[in-house]
């Protein structure tokens, strides 16, 4: 049973109107547990729409989406959180700026559960959060009572990524998570994603425009072109491709 199963997905925006656009023509894709899929493609080729359809913030016009065998085609995003964690392109989207780091991590830790009228933050939880944040090596574990909005974009993205594994996660969706980050922060975030993918065996999908990252990370490479999958390379065939070759694809 595949973790993500997309069958004959078609997505049309503004159907019937003057600004109608077909973001995804015909996409069928099977992704197994623990795979790290890197998605590249020109702007408008359908990459973000694909991630949104997996995450539930968009519904396909045609076709079906299955997660771990369950049909989730019409399930909205806040219900897909049961399996899916996301890191957005904008570092400000993944965390609530006026809430403390600790509060943000608490919400992440109960992502798959009901938010009850009980106080969940206790000494044990604080300890867990501090220990996890310490692994980043950014010194943020001493600031867990500070509002998260006071941190830089790179720090917030790294924390968003850490938050994604505070609760059980089957699928991690990363939509250009390093687009707004400086090279050093970008590397921290990507290495962290790689580490989480290996350690927790989370099926990971990463959209990136950075071809160097596409070559360096991931077990599978998919190129989108005009709403369809043009190339799908795994393992050895992915490793074979040189950076120069990939530039020719565009």
Name 116's Cβ contacts closer than 8 Å, sequence gap at least 6: none
Name 86's Cβ contacts closer than 8 Å, sequence gap at least 6: 51, 55, 94, 164, 172, 173, 174, 175
Measured in degrees and rounded to the nearest 5, phi and psi for residue 228 equal: -135, 165
Interface with another protein (CB under 8 A), residue from 29, 37, 88, 140: 88
User: What phi-psi label fits residue 80: left (phi over 0), alpha (psi between -120 and 50 degrees) or beta?
Assistant: alpha
Considering beta carbons, is residue 25 or 103 the nearer one to another protein? Answer: 103
Interface with another protein (CB under 8 A), residue from 14, 19, 118, 242: 118
Counting contacts by CB under 8 A, is residue 99 touching another protein? yes
Interface with another protein (CB under 8 A), residue from 14, 17, 69, 78: 78
Counting contacts by CB under 8 A, is residue 247 touching another protein? no
- Give the β-pairing of 36-41 and 203-207: parallel
Q: What is the nearest approach in angstroms of another protein to the Cβ of residue 144?
A: 13
Task: Map the footprint of another protein across residues 140-169, applying CB under 8 A.
Answer: 147
Distance CA 107, CA 123 (A): 16
Beta bridge pairs of residue 225: 228
Considering beta carbons, is residue 140 or 214 the nearer one to another protein? Answer: 140
Name 10's Cβ contacts closer than 8 Å, sequence gap at least 6: 22, 24, 25, 26, 27, 60, 61, 62, 63
Interface with another protein (CB under 8 A), residue from 15, 28, 44, 120: 120
Name 72's Cβ contacts closer than 8 Å, sequence gap at least 6: 56, 65, 66, 80
Considering beta carbons, is residue 100 or 185 the nearer one to another protein? Answer: 100
Distance CA 179, CA 177 (A): 6
Counting contacts by CB under 8 A, is residue 238 touching another protein? no
Counting contacts by CB under 8 A, is residue 117 touching another protein? yes
Considering beta carbons, is residue 93 or 250 the nearer one to another protein? Answer: 93
Considering beta carbons, is residue 70 or 243 the nearer one to another protein? Answer: 70
Interface with another protein (CB under 8 A), residue from 3, 48, 52, 82: 82
User: What phi-psi label fits residue 227: left (phi over 0), alpha (psi between -120 and 50 degrees) or beta?
Assistant: left
Tokens of 172: 């991690």
Packing angle, helices 101-109 and 153-163, rounded to 10? 30
Q: What is the nearest approach in angstroms of another protein to the Cβ of residue 116?
A: 5
Q: What is the nearest approach in angstroms of another protein to the Cβ of residue 229?
A: 25
Stretch that binds another protein, among 114-122, 209-217, 228-236, 240-248 (CB under 8 A): 114-122
Q: How many residues bind another protein (CB under 8 A)?
A: 36
Binding site for another protein (CB under 8 A): 55, 57, 77-79, 81-82, 84-86, 88, 92-99, 103-104, 106-108, 110-113, 115-121, 147
């Amino acid at each position: 049973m595949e973790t993500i199963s997309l069958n004959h997905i078609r997505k049309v925006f503004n159907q019937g109107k003057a600004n109608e656009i077909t973001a995804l023509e015909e996409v069928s894709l099977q992704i197994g547990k623990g795979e790290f899929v890197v998605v590249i493609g020109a702007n408008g080729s359908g990459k973000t729409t694909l991630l949104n359809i997996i995450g539930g913030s968009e519904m396909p016009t045609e076709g079906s989406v299955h997660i771990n065998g369950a049909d989730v085609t019409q399930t909205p995003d806040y219900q897909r959180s049961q399996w899916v964690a996301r890191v957005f392109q904008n570092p400000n989207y993944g965390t609530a700026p006026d809430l403390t780091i600790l509060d943000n991590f608490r919400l992440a830790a109960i992502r798959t559960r009901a938010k009850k009228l009980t106080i969940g933050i206790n000494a044990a939880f604080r300890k867990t959060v501090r220990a996890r944040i310490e692994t980043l090596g950014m010194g943020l574990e001493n600031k867990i009572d500070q509002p998260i909005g006071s941190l830089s974009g790179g720090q917030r993205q790294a924390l968003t990524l850490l938050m994604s594994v505070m609760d059980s996660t089957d699928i991690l969706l990363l939509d250009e998570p390093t687009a707004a980050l400086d090279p050093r922060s970008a590397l921290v975030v990507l290495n962290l994603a790689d580490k989480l993918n290996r350690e927790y065996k989370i099926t990971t999908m990463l959209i990136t425009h950075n071809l160097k990252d596409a070559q360096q990370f991931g077990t599978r490479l998919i190129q989108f072109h005009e709403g369809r999958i043009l190339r799908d390379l795994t393992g050895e065939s992915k490793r074979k491709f040189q950076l120069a070759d990939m530039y020719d694809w565009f």
